[in-house]
Amino acid sequence: MSFTRRTFGKVALAAAAAPAIVQTPALAGPAAKAGQPIDPMTLLDPELRDGAKVILSRPLPEPLNHAAILGMRKSAPPPPPVLPSPAPAVELRTVAGASGQPPVGIAVIGAGRKATLRPAVLHIHGGGFIVGRMDDTIPASQRLSEEMDCVVVEVDYRLSPETRFPGPLEDCHAALVWLHANADALGVDRSRIAIMGESAGGGLAAMLAIAARDRRSVPLCCQILIYPMLDDRTGSTRRVPSFIGTIGWNEAGNVVGWSSLLGQPAGRRTVPAGAVPARVADLAGLPPTFIGVGSIDLFVEENIAYAQRLIQAGVSTELLVTPGAFHGFDFVVPEATVSQAFVAAWKRRLRAAFSKTAA
């Protein structure tokens, strides 16, 4: 499988979000026998192997302290250019933050009144709560806006550890409230607003759905959670099998990301209310949910557990576990068959949510 310069940039950015990546030499032949260590490279979907090797070839500085985080942000490759017309237009705006919080930067994509009101997606980028930029996902959101004939709003939320919980969540909630309040001007149907995010963005989307329910602020038609970061105990007080979470994001990174957001060591007995979706006791009343994750992603167990709890709470839930896939595989190797099937699955769920509420 060939890698273009742009694809390599995406891989490098994904690797920048993963501290202390474990580099494991590939083994020839089938998976290890019972009682022997399992090499994650033997579990990979064949089309994802080259992408995994690129990620594993770029170890990050240790320790992952604040100076290292700042260095990762500074060395990230330039964001991809905004797609030109006729792609949906992008408008950068600043909206009011929550009470006592600063204004929030957003990107509004594809807005404008048409013959009928259209659905909308609030998208939240990933990056372990510590890195990542809104600008990196704008072109993808332009394509989503065009394909789904919807408005997309991107959120430039504040990163941790400089801003701790609830700051990043409040930024996302302020953007969601603004979208709902300005729906008429944007040409948006208020009954068809969805939220979506990948990795830490998926974790923030899950937090946001809970906050919107508890505050009764904005009704949501669905939440699309792509390998979401849901549980601070993963990697801290709960370990995963050694072959899981070694490509793209690992236990050490998870501990740093959650500790940075929470302002306390990950895995403590108590956490701020609403900060860790997996620890929220009541999941009833949340919107219909899609959760997608790879089988060797660090988050696979916590994502399965969260989906099970949603189902038990009466929430319409779809769970997709992609065999042989690591964290961020669909961005790293988008042309792979499993990546295309993965993306098609969450788009199908989003399209169904938009169609159902429009009926």
Superfamily (CATH H level) for 90-358 = Alpha/Beta hydrolase fold, catalytic domain (3.40.50.1820)
- How far CA 5 is from CA of 2, 11, 15, 77, in Å, comes to 10, 10, 15, 11
pLDDT in the model for residue 186: 98
- Contacts for 267 with CB less than 8 Å, ≥ 6 apart: 232, 233, 236, 237, 238, 255, 258
355 is catalytic: no
> What single DSSP character describes residue 238?
B
Place of tokens 């033997």: 42
199 is catalytic: yes
> Residue 199: left (phi > 0), alpha (psi -120 to 50), or beta?
left
Average pLDDT over residues 127-153: 98
pTM above 0.85, yes or no: yes
Average pLDDT over residues 254-269: 98
Residue type, 10: K
Q: Which one of the listed residues 123, 125, 173, 327 is annotated catalytic?
A: 327
Report the distance separating Cα 338 and Cα 322, nearest Å: 7
Give the start-to-end residue ranges of the domains of the chain. 90-358
pLDDT in the model for residue 358: 55
pLDDT in the model for residue 27: 28
- Contacts for 230 with CB less than 8 Å, ≥ 6 apart: 202, 203, 206, 276, 277, 278, 299, 302, 303, 306
Q: How many CB atoms lie within 10 A of CB 57?
A: 11
- How far CA 249 is from CA of 254, 306, 327, in Å, comes to 7, 19, 6
- Contacts for 1 with CB less than 8 Å, ≥ 6 apart: 47, 49, 50, 51, 333, 335, 336
Q: Note the helical H segments in the chain.
A: 5-16, 49-56, 66-75, 138-148, 167-181, 183-186, 200-215, 251-262, 300-312, 329-332, 337-358
Q: Which one of the listed residues 135, 297, 330, 339 is annotated catalytic?
A: 297
With 80 as the cut, is the pLDDT of residue 105 above it? yes
With 90 as the cut, is the pLDDT of residue 80 above it? yes
pLDDT in the model for residue 222: 98
327 is catalytic: yes
Report the distance separating Cα 197 and Cα 204, nearest Å: 7
Q: Which one of the listed residues 199, 236, 260, 339 is annotated catalytic?
A: 199
Q: How many CB atoms lie within 10 A of CB 91?
A: 11
**Contact by Cβ (8 Å): 295, 241:** no
pLDDT in the model for residue 36: 82
